Structure 1
Amino acid sequence: MSGIPFDQTADRDYEVLKPVGPKLRRIQAHNPGPFTFTGTGTYVIGEGEVAVVDPGPRDEAHVAAILKALKGERITHILVTHTHLDHSPAAALLKEATGVATYGFGPHGSGAGPDTPVEEGGDMDFRPDVEVRHGDTVDVGGVRVSAVHTPGHTSNHICFALDREGALLSGDHVMAWSTSVISPPDGDMAAYKRSLRLLLEREDRVYYPAHGAPVTDPHGFVQAFLDHREAREQAIAKVLADGVETIPEMVRRIYVGLDPRLHAAAARSVLAHLAEMVDEGRASADGPATLRARYAPPGGSIG
Structure 2
Amino acid sequence: MAALPTGIPMAREPLVTSILAPNASAYTHTGTQSYLVGTADLAVIDPGPDQPEHLDALLAAIAGRPVVAILVTHHHRDHSPASRPLAELTGAPIVGAAPFHASGEDGRIDAAFDADYAPDRVLAEGDVVAGQGWTLAVLATPGHTSNHLAFALAEIGALFSGDHVMGWATSVVSPPDGDMGAYMASLEKLLAREDRVYYPGHGEPVDNPRRLVRGMLGHRKQREGQILRLLREDARGAAGLVERMYVGIDPRLRGAAERSVLAHLIDLERRGLVAGKGTAWRIAA
Q: Does 1:30 align with 2:22?
A: yes
Q: Is the 8 A contact 2:32 2:78 kept in 1?
A: yes
- Give, in whole Å, the separation in 2 of the partners of 1:158 and 1:58: 21
Q: Is the 8 A contact 1:60 1:93 kept in 2?
A: no
Quote the residue 1:234 is aligned against.
225
Closer/same/farther in 2, CA of residues 263 and 56 from structure 1, 3 Å limit: same
Displacement after TM superposition at 1:140 (Å): 2.0
Displacement after TM superposition at 1:21 (Å): 2.1
Q: Secondary structure at the match of 1:175?
A: coil
- Give, in whole Å, the separation in 2 of the partners of 1:277 and 1:223: 21
Q: Secondary structure at the match of 2:220?
A: helix
Q: Is the 8 A contact 1:24 1:45 kept in 2?
A: yes
Q: Does 1:195 align with 2:181?
A: no
Give the TM-score of the pair, scaled to structure 2: 0.95
Displacement after TM superposition at 1:93 (Å): 1.2
Structure 1 segments of 4+ aligned residues over 2 angstroms from their partners: 114-120
Q: Is the 8 A contact 2:129 2:136 kept in 1?
A: yes
What residue identity is the alignment partner of 2:176? P
Quote the residue 2:280 is aligned against.
294
- Give, in whole Å, the separation in 1 of the partners of 2:76 and 2:255: 17
Quote the residue 1:283 is aligned against.
274
- Give, in whole Å, the separation in 2 of the partners of 1:91 and 1:72: 17
1:161-194 per-position Cα deviation (integer Å, ceiling 9, x unaligned): 1012100000000000000000111100000000
Q: Is the 8 A contact 2:10 2:19 kept in 1?
A: yes
Closer/same/farther in 2, CA of residues 198 and 109 from structure 1, 3 Å limit: farther
Quote the residue 1:289 is aligned against.
none
What residue identity is the alignment partner of 1:23? L
Q: Is the 8 A contact 1:20 1:26 kept in 2?
A: yes
Question: Counterparts of 1:177-216 in structure 2 under 5 Å?
Answer: 177-216=168-207
Q: Equivalent of 2:260, from 269, 293, 298?
A: 269
Judge which range, 203-212 or 243-252, deviates more. 243-252
Quote the residue 2:250 is aligned against.
259
Q: Equivalent of 1:149, from 121, 140, 143?
A: 140
- Give, in whole Å, the separation in 2 of the partners of 1:160 and 1:116: 32
Displacement after TM superposition at 1:115 (Å): 9.8
How many residue pairs were aligned? Answer: 283
Q: Secondary structure at the match of 1:164?
A: coil
Quote the residue 1:52 is aligned against.
44
Q: Is the 8 A contact 1:247 1:271 kept in 2?
A: yes
Give the TM-score of the pair, scaled to structure 1: 0.90
Displacement after TM superposition at 1:72 (Å): 3.2
What residue identity is the alignment partner of 1:273? H
Displacement after TM superposition at 1:218 (Å): 1.2
What residue identity is the alignment partner of 2:145? T
Unaligned runs of 5+ in 1: 1-7, 287-291
Quote the residue 1:88 is aligned against.
80
Q: Secondary structure at the match of 1:226?
A: helix
Closer/same/farther in 2, CA of residues 293 and 244 from structure 1, 3 Å limit: closer
Q: Does 1:219 align with 2:216?
A: no
Q: Is the 8 A contact 2:235 2:279 kept in 1?
A: no
Q: Secondary structure at the match of 2:99?
A: coil
- Give, in whole Å, the separation in 1 of the partners of 2:283 and 2:36: 48
- Give, in whole Å, the separation in 1 of the partners of 2:219 and 2:11: 32
Displacement after TM superposition at 1:86 (Å): 0.3
Identity of aligned residues (%): 44
Quote the residue 1:174 is aligned against.
165
Q: Secondary structure at the match of 1:56?
A: coil
Judge which range, 257-266 or 99-108, deviates more. 99-108
Unaligned runs of 5+ in 2: none
- Give, in whole Å, the separation in 2 of the partners of 1:164 and 1:109: 35
- Give, in whole Å, the separation in 1 of the partners of 2:29 and 2:242: 22
| Aligned-residue CA RMSD (Å) | 1.7
